[in-house]
Structure 1
Amino acid sequence: MHSNHLLLEEPIRMASILQPSKPSFFPAMTKIVGTLGPKSRSVEVISSCLKAGMSVARFDFSWGDPQFHQGSLENLKTAIKGTKKLCAVMLDTVGPELQVVNKSKHPISLQADSFVVLTPDQQREATSDQLPINFSDLSKAVKTGDTIFIGQYLFTGKETTSVWLEVKEVKGEDVVCLIKNSATLDESLYTLHVSQIPIDLPTLTDKDKEVISTWGVQNNVDFLSLSSTRSAEDVRRAREYLSELGNLKETQIFAKIENVEGLKHFDEILQEADGIILARGNLGIDLPAEKVFLFQKAAVYKCNMAGKPAVVTRVVDSMTDNLRPTRAEATDVANAVLDGCDAILLGAETLRGLYPVETISVVGKICAEAEKVYNQDLYFKRAVKYVGEPMTYLEAITSSAVRAAIKVKASVIICFTSSGRAARLIAKYRPTMPVISVVIPQIKSNQIRWTVSGAFQGQGKGGGGRFGRRNLLST
């Protein structure tokens, strides 16, 4: 990691902390990704979320059918028209996710120091003694002493609804585990995570491909969030698949890093992907707790220097049930911005949380405060130094544009682009003002027919353009 200086402007006057923040047209440069679900899918709530600062709507296909998500998306389109706020669409794949199958949906009580059997036989009933799972090769993947975590999907951090297991014995296809803490599994969908054990399942599953080729194509999605990305090849395969589908050629692929395999291959994944999502929920299980911050800082720095968006997840879990974040969570959001992250992704907090609008509002306010003291000058010098000389023509133009805009205190930077590349490079240098990209389509003719190309798809379809870095908008 190459980060010697704190990206914080000094000195901060204590008196300024007590002064109320002034409202601004752009509440925060840092983007907020909100996951739409049961508590946040009505036109009214989505409209409030957009006004509060949500600029990307995430549709998570780990639960809910395409019809449910289509209904949410139609409501999003209505809300966009009503509020005149742009919002991009992100499709989140299921990926190689291991799940506990509880067909009866009855609560399952697990007692510490007791034993439970994980079985691939999904016909068995889920009880306190046995839990059927959707993966037949678990017995081949684990060994005695391995740690397994079972938690509610979009886990909120409550120990009463999640359980740690230790593998004690492998009996044929069954895995016998010791329960480390008492817990009650009281929902139908629980995910299972084996610490630092490779799972031999494809990253882009058949179910994912079906959703992308139908729902994704139909709605011309802006982003594909590729769950459990483990190698650059995963990203390449996903891009090839999108290219085959025609109208998703310009859909950006954000690689979601959530296990040790993804961490090991991070540099090569970053080269292939359009952006990175640091899925701290699963990463926090795969890594020792004291190592998570190191990965975040190193990964965000690498994304910054590559000029690709870094998205951080799992920052205000407690707001799923509470109106205010904890002090630690509020500090965590600010530190993520000071580290250089470009977007905050909200999961359970907006999907099924009690306060989706308040969560977006609070996170936006914290981001805005952190941005005010962000040391842009130090960052700019570091980014220019990292690129080195000779610079490419485009790097030289975009970095100079940012420097000039800051020196003359410009209100906004307007970038004319056909691919969006110039706008993304401008945003790489983190100007203190918004970047508005005006897309000029490229028109070609072979004397028989005209073709138009350029990064303009998705406009007026509930999309709203893509974000190149944290202050890139599309018009």
Structure 2
Amino acid sequence: MQAPHLLLEEPIRLASILESSPSVPSFSAMTKIIGTLGPKSRSPEVLEGLLKAGMSVARIDFSWGDDAYHQETLENLKKAIKNTKKLCGVMLDTTGPELQVVNRGEKSIALEADSLVTLTPDDMVIEASSGILPLNFADLASAVKPGDTIFLGQYLFTGSETTSVWLEVAETKGDDVICTVKNSATLTGSLFTAHAAQVHIGMPTLSESDKKIISTWGVRNNIDFLSLSYTRHAEDVRKAREFLAQLGDLQQTHVFAKIENIEGLRHFDEILKEADGIILSRGNLGIDLQPEKVFLFQKAALYKCNMAGKPAVVTRVVDTMTDTPRPTRAEATDVANAVLDGTDAILLGAETLRGLYPIETISTVRKICAEAEKVYNHANYFKKTVKKVGEPMSHLESIASSAVRAAVKVKASVIVVFSSSGRAARLIAKYRPPMPVLVLVIPRLTTNHLRWTFIGAFQARQCLAVRGLFPMLADPRHPAESNSTTNESILRVALDHGKVAGIIKPHDRIVVCQKLGDSSVVKIIELDD
């Protein structure tokens, strides 16, 4: 697949590489950062540090921990949001059809290369050991065949040869799967995740356990995003959305399909049409795919998401920062290439959940993203996107592309868009403007004839997963579709916010996109002193 927008915008001055990177202001990085919260990132003090460093969405992973534990973490996040005055979205990550080995004794399990280990259905009695590992899936023996590979490691493993292990299926006996250990490793912790390469696992994508968590914890906390683990078909997304529609305000929750295996990749186009966003789970996909194909899948998937105008999230970028304060050269380059490939957000897992340097990790990733964005070829990408959309454009698409074109031509410092649903803002983001987009989300009251609902808070926070969008929740007394010629009071608040953040200065030009009555308007404002 050709992707000319990946080319750098201009030759890089070597002198600029030798200069120290300045401190990163609020709007310097367009790429968003999603942090997974856990033991090392749940105190109010650390959470404040994460928000200040650049975390825009907090991921709560229910494949471990209970309701009360995650609720306490979220309450601490609310305190941190209040203290820092920074918006933060909440993403609930489901367990889905994940293969798990529970180590109830929590003793270290040493596995030696060329030895045999048996995977057996978990009967809640068997203790995990170097000879037998109880698994949460009773039908694995009928799903695999001799020669298949299974990857096993501590939850959110980093792929280290000493803490995760490759198994090769030797034979099956009844419900048991007997495997040969391919590398020596010591497994520690209470939970190990298993991934059978290119094997269909006959478990529901949205389990009964997932549904219970969503309908209780999710409803109680008005989750902004649902990360649907192991999405394999478009029907998985439709079923999840139908379930959310029964849960009151969660009908507004965005469903992000998490692509984790070959099955999901085969149905990627259909899934993309149905989902609100895509998460490329490169850890598991890296096991299913041949190593030489991994970069191609990333580039192709991100391109498709960009052209569809749907946010794409990339995972597993700086694994070594779980234990070290600095990424490897390959990891730093990987983050930059993900930005140049077109990702909207970077998702950090173990690095923030149990890593020793959660704040430093987010700060480092953010700086790398900011540097990569400086050389992103916006002009080439814009032309490609306009050509891909074709003519005639829809009304809203035409307005969005015109706003970005005008902002580039007049060298505007920021685009301001008035919105209620966030759709106009996401369309503007689709054209990857090189300047920040301030989204003024104005709440509105809606009804289904049974109850009244305020729409706006969800939509504002959901912008936090989209590259370049910086939302503000405006005064609901000012409608987004005004019959007046201006919404001066709201615009003034947005401009003042931009000035405080350092992205708007005297004499700057601002592009404003709003709806006035039945007309959509793009206007250019030049600021006074």
**Shorter-chain TM band:** over 0.9
**TM-aligned CA deviation for residue 9 of structure 1:** 1.0
**TM-aligned CA deviation for residue 102 of structure 1:** 1.6
Give, as a single letter, the amino acid of the residue that structure 1 aligns with 2:16.
Answer: S
**TM-aligned CA deviation for residue 451 of structure 1:** 4.5
Give, as a single letter, the amino acid of the residue that structure 2 aligns with 1:70.
Answer: Q
SS in 2 for 1:58: strand
C-alpha distance after superposition, 1:380-408 (max 9, x if no partner): 11110100111111110000001111222
**TM-aligned CA deviation for residue 454 of structure 1:** 3.3
Aligned residue for 2:108? Answer: 107
**TM-aligned CA deviation for residue 458 of structure 1:** 7.7
Stretch of structure 1 that moved more, 3-12 or 190-199:
3-12
Give, as a single letter, the amino acid of the residue that structure 1 aligns with 2:262.
Answer: V
> Would you say 1:75 and 2:76 are equivalent positions?
yes
1:336-351, aligned counterparts within 5 Å?
336-351=338-353
1:381-396, aligned counterparts within 5 Å?
381-396=383-398
1:84-123, aligned counterparts within 5 Å?
84-122=85-123, 123=125
Q: Residues 449 and 4 from structure 1, CA distance in 2 versus in 1: closer, same or farther, beyond 3 angstroms?
A: closer
Aligned residue for 2:7? Answer: 7
> Could you tell me whether the CA contact under 8 Å between 1:36 and 1:351 is conserved in 2?
yes
> Would you say 1:304 and 2:306 are equivalent positions?
yes
> Could you tell me whether the CA contact under 8 Å between 1:439 and 1:454 is conserved in 2?
no
Q: Residues 130 and 468 from structure 1, CA distance in 2 versus in 1: closer, same or farther, beyond 3 angstroms?
A: closer
> Could you tell me whether the CA contact under 8 Å between 2:225 and 2:462 is conserved in 1?
no
User: Aligned to 1:470, which of 467, 471, 474?
Assistant: 467
Query: % of aligned pairs identical?
Result: 70
Aligned residue for 1:454? Answer: 455
**TM-aligned CA deviation for residue 442 of structure 1:** 4.1
Give, as a single letter, the amino acid of the residue that structure 2 aligns with 1:164.
Answer: W
Stretch of structure 1 that moved more, 317-326 or 405-414:
405-414
Give, as a single letter, the amino acid of the residue that structure 1 aligns with 2:467.
Answer: R
SS in 2 for 1:294: helix
1:6-405, aligned counterparts within 5 Å?
6-23=6-23, 24-122=25-123, 123-405=125-407
Q: Residues 277 and 324 from structure 1, CA distance in 2 versus in 1: closer, same or farther, beyond 3 angstroms?
A: same
> Could you tell me whether the CA contact under 8 Å between 1:418 and 1:455 is conserved in 2?
yes
Give, as a single letter, the amino acid of the residue that structure 2 aligns with 1:234.
Answer: D
**TM-aligned CA deviation for residue 279 of structure 1:** 0.3
> Could you tell me whether the CA contact under 8 Å between 2:253 and 2:458 is conserved in 1?
no
Q: Residues 178 and 25 from structure 1, CA distance in 2 versus in 1: closer, same or farther, beyond 3 angstroms?
A: closer
**TM-aligned CA deviation for residue 411 of structure 1:** 2.1
Q: Distance in 1 between matches of 2:309 and 2:50?
A: 28
**TM-aligned CA deviation for residue 450 of structure 1:** 9.3
**TM-aligned CA deviation for residue 7 of structure 1:** 3.2
**TM-aligned CA deviation for residue 121 of structure 1:** 4.0
Alignment root-mean-square deviation, CA: 1.7
Give, as a single letter, the amino acid of the residue that structure 2 aligns with 1:58.
Answer: R
SS in 2 for 1:8: coil
> Could you tell me whether the CA contact under 8 Å between 2:91 and 2:223 is conserved in 1?
yes
SS in 2 for 1:249: helix
SS in 1 for 2:162: helix
**TM-aligned CA deviation for residue 440 of structure 1:** 3.1
> Could you tell me whether the CA contact under 8 Å between 1:423 and 1:468 is conserved in 2?
no
> Could you tell me whether the CA contact under 8 Å between 1:98 and 1:133 is conserved in 2?
yes
**TM-aligned CA deviation for residue 452 of structure 1:** 5.3
Aligned residue for 1:436? Answer: 438
**TM-aligned CA deviation for residue 201 of structure 1:** 0.3
Q: Distance in 1 between matches of 2:132 and 2:442?
A: 60
> Could you tell me whether the CA contact under 8 Å between 1:307 and 1:424 is conserved in 2?
yes
> Could you tell me whether the CA contact under 8 Å between 2:6 and 2:376 is conserved in 1?
no
Q: Residues 220 and 443 from structure 1, CA distance in 2 versus in 1: closer, same or farther, beyond 3 angstroms?
A: closer
SS in 1 for 2:251: coil
> Could you tell me whether the CA contact under 8 Å between 1:441 and 1:452 is conserved in 2?
no
> Could you tell me whether the CA contact under 8 Å between 2:162 and 2:184 is conserved in 1?
yes
Q: Distance in 2 between matches of 1:431 and 1:151?
A: 41
**TM-aligned CA deviation for residue 46 of structure 1:** 0.5
Instruction: Name structure 1 gaps, 5 residues minimum.
Output: none
Instruction: Name structure 2 gaps, 5 residues minimum.
Output: 473-529
C-alpha distance after superposition, 1:236-287 (max 9, x if no partner): 0000000110111111111000000000000000000011000001001111
**TM-aligned CA deviation for residue 149 of structure 1:** 0.9
> Could you tell me whether the CA contact under 8 Å between 1:7 and 1:379 is conserved in 2?
no
C-alpha distance after superposition, 1:99-126 (max 9, x if no partner): 1122111111111111111111432221
Give, as a single letter, the amino acid of the residue that structure 2 aligns with 1:360.
Answer: I
Stretch of structure 1 that moved more, 254-263 or 6-15:
6-15
Stretch of structure 1 that moved more, 33-42 or 403-412:
403-412
> Could you tell me whether the CA contact under 8 Å between 1:242 and 1:249 is conserved in 2?
yes
C-alpha distance after superposition, 1:165-219 (max 9, x if no partner): 1111110111111111111111111011100000000000001001100111111
> Could you tell me whether the CA contact under 8 Å between 2:231 and 2:258 is conserved in 1?
yes
**TM-aligned CA deviation for residue 453 of structure 1:** 5.0
TM-score computed with the length of structure 2 as normaliser: 0.86
**TM-aligned CA deviation for residue 142 of structure 1:** 0.6
> Could you tell me whether the CA contact under 8 Å between 2:422 and 2:459 is conserved in 1?
no
> Could you tell me whether the CA contact under 8 Å between 1:394 and 1:422 is conserved in 2?
yes
Q: Distance in 2 between matches of 1:6 and 1:104?
A: 50
| Structure of higher CA gyration radius | 2
TM-score computed with the length of structure 1 as normaliser: 0.96
